[in-house]
C-alpha cells in the first residue's frame, strides 16, 4: 500500500506460504483482536456517536472474518490455537501519547496504519496463492482492510483538524516503518 513507508518484501510472503497453517492461526487471532479493539474504542468514547456506530459495524465485520478464518483452519484439519503476543502491535502501542485528545488521535491513526499494513500483507498473500477460493478470500480481506484504514483516517479527520492529523500521521508512519523493518519474517501478519 503506497500510504506506508516500508514495503514488505517477498521474503515475508515466502515465510507465510511455507507455514500457512501457522499464518491462519495468527490471522484468526488478529481478526479477534481487531474486533475487541473496536469494542474497546466504542466503550471508551460513548459520547462520539459516529465512532460508536462505525466501531459497532467494524467489530461485527472483524468477527465475521474471524469466523471465516476459523472455518479455513478446521477445513485444513487444524484447531484454533492460543493467541500469541504480537511484537509489532506491542511496540506500536508504545507510541501512544498521554492526554485525552492526544491518546484518542493516536488510537485512531495507529489503528488506521495497522489496517493499512494488513491490507498490504493480505494483498501479497492473495497475489501469491494459486487460483481458487483461498486466493479470492485473501483478495477480499485485503479490500476490507483498505476500507478499515480509510475509516480510521476519516474518523481522525472528523474529530481533529487536518493539519494536526497530517502532522501526527507523518510521525507515526515513520515510527511504524522502523518497527516493521526490524521484525523477523515469519508466518504471521506482523
Domains (range + CATH), the chain? 19-78+95-182 (1.20.1260.10)
- Say if residue 73's pLDDT is above 60: yes
- Say if residue 49's pLDDT is above 70: yes
- Say if residue 95's pLDDT is above 70: yes
Lowest mean pLDDT among 81-85, 95-99, 101-105, 123-127: 81-85
Query: CB-side exposure of 5: number of CA atoms within 13 Å?
Result: 13
Cα torsion through 107, 112, 113, 117, rounded to 10: 130
| Contact residues for 88 (Cβ-Cβ < 8 A; gap 6+) | 117, 179, 180, 183, 190
Kindly report, residue by residue over 149-177, the tens digit of the pLDDT.
999 999 999 999 999 999 999 999 999 99
pLDDT at 83: 86
Q: Over the chain, what is the mean pLDDT? A: 96
- Say if residue 1's pLDDT is above 60: no
Give Cα 53 distance to the centre of its chain.
Answer: 19
pLDDT at 64: 98
189 exposed, middle or buried (CB, 10 Å; 0-12, 13-18, 19+)? buried
Residues in the chain: 190
pLDDT at 3: 86
Give the C-alpha distances (Å, rounded to integers) separating 4 from 113, 121, 184: 8, 11, 18
Kindly report, residue by residue over 111-126, the tens digit of the pLDDT.
999 999 999 999 999 9
Q: Which long-range contacts (CB under 8 A, 24 or more apart) does 87-94 make?
A: 87/183, 87/190, 88/117, 88/179, 88/180, 88/183, 88/190, 89/33, 89/114, 89/190, 91/179, 92/175, 92/176, 92/179
Can you give the pTM of this predicted structure?
Answer: 0.95
- Say if residue 2's pLDDT is above 70: no
Amino acid at each position: 500500500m503506497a500510504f506506508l513507508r516500508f514495503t514488505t518484501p517477498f521474503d515475508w510472503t515466502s515465510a507465510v506460504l511455507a507455514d500457512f497453517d501457522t499464518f491462519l492461526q495468527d490471522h484468526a487471532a488478529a481478526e479477534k483482536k481487531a474486533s475487541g479493539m473496536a469494542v474497546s474504542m466504542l466503550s471508551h468514547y460513548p459520547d462520539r456517536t459516529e465512532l460508536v456506530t462505525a466501531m459497532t459495524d467494524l467489530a461485527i465485520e472483524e468477527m465475521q472474518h474471524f469466523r471465516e478464518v476459523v472455518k479455513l483452519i478446521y477445513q485444513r484439519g487444524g484447531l484454533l490455537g492460543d493467541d500469541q503476543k504480537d511484537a509489532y502491535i506491542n511496540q506500536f502501542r508504545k507510541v501512544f501519547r498521554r492526554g485525552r485528545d492526544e491518546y484518542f488521535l493516536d488510537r485512531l491513526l495507529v489503528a488506521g496504519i495497522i489496517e493499512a499494513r494488513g491490507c498490504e500483507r493480505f494483498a501479497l498473500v492473495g497475489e501469491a496463492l494459486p487460483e481458487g477460493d483461498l486466493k479470492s478470500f485473501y483478495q477480499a480481506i485485503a479490500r476490507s482492510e483498505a476500507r478499515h484504514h480509510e475509516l480510521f483516517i476519516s474518523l481522525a479527520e472528523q474529530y481533529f483538524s487536518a493539519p494536526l492529523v497530517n502532522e501526527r500521521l507523518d510521525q507515526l508512519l515513520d515510527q511504524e516503518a522502523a518497527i516493521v523493518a526490524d521484525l523477523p519474517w515469519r508466518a504471521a501478519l506482523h
